[in-house]
């Protein structure tokens, strides 16, 4: 099945959703969504494939401060280690942060904070798999594929929604 893509505007900029009827495979943050799409992807014209439409709906709710968890069919691959890291990311509560070291300990690899950081960097579904909630042990933001201003904007959005 051919992957479709759809670009839509959010408070953090234009996101590109990539997937098909059954699952969302990728979410590209504004810095990547601004580039030309992969030649293997087809633009979603007219009605969006079911998984893209549902992802868009849930992201709109998230950005409006109305959604704190996502319930989507995720099609992203990854190594066993990456899958463990990404599953644990989804357990970090909305509006909270943990350190890379704490995340490594949670998956049973307490000395693996660097590997956890690499798995975060390879996360194909940012926002939905909330790697933005992981920060350095010193409380600083650390790296983020979408850039530190985007990471900060996501954290601020969640904290603001919690304060309502």
**Angle value at C-alpha 155, between 9 and 79, nearest 5 degrees:** 85
CATH assignment of the domain containing 31: 3.30.160
Instruction: For residue 11, indicate whether it is catalytic.
Output: no
Task: From the candidates 3, 76, 131, 155, give the one annotated as an active-site residue.
Answer: 131
pLDDT band at residue 65 using 50, 70 and 90 as cut-offs: very high
Which pLDDT score is estimated for 1? 62
When pLDDT is averaged across residues 142-163 and rounded to a whole number, the result is 93
Q: Do 23 and 92 fall within a single domain?
A: no
CATH assignment of the domain containing 145: 1.10.10.10
The yes-or-no verdict on residue 58 having pLDDT over 90 is yes
Q: Do 32 and 84 fall within a single domain?
A: no
What count of residues does the chain have? 164
Q: Tell if the pTM clears 0.85, that is, is over it.
A: yes
Please check whether residue 67 is in contact with residue 61, taking contact to mean a CB–CB distance below 8 angstroms: yes
b/e 128-154 (16+ beta carbons within 10 angstroms → b): bbbbbbbbeeeeeebebbbeeebbebb
Q: Do 150 and 117 fall within a single domain?
A: yes
Structure tokens given for 71: 């319930």
Residue 138 belongs to domain spanning:
80-163
The yes-or-no verdict on residue 76 having pLDDT over 80 is no
Please check whether residue 5 is in contact with residue 37, taking contact to mean a CB–CB distance below 8 angstroms: yes
pLDDT band at residue 103 using 50, 70 and 90 as cut-offs: very high
Q: Do 107 and 137 fall within a single domain?
A: yes
Q: Is 71 a member of any domain? A: no
Q: Do 44 and 94 fall within a single domain?
A: no
Number of structural domains (the chain) is 2
Q: Do 21 and 85 fall within a single domain?
A: no
């Amino acid at each position: 099945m051919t992957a479709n893509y759809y670009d839509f505007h959010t408070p953090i900029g234009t996101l590109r959703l990539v997937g098909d009827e059954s699952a969302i495979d990728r979410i590209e943050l504004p810095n990547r969504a601004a580039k030309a799409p992969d030649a293997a992807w087809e633009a979603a014209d007219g009605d969006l494939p079911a998984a893209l439409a549902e992802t868009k709906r849930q992201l709109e709710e998230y950005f409006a401060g109305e959604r704190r968890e996502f319930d989507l069919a995720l099609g992203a691959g990854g190594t066993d280690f990456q899958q463990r890291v990404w599953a644990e990311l989804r357990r970090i509560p909305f509006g909270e942060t943990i350190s890379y070291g704490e995340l490594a300990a949670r998956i049973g690899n307490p000395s693996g904070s660097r590997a956890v950081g690499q798995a975060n960097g390879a996360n194909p579904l940012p926002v939905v798999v909330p790697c933005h909630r992981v920060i350095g042990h010193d409380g600083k933001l650390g790296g983020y594929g979408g850039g530190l201003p985007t990471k900060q904007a996501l954290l601020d959005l969640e904290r603001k929604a919690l304060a309502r």
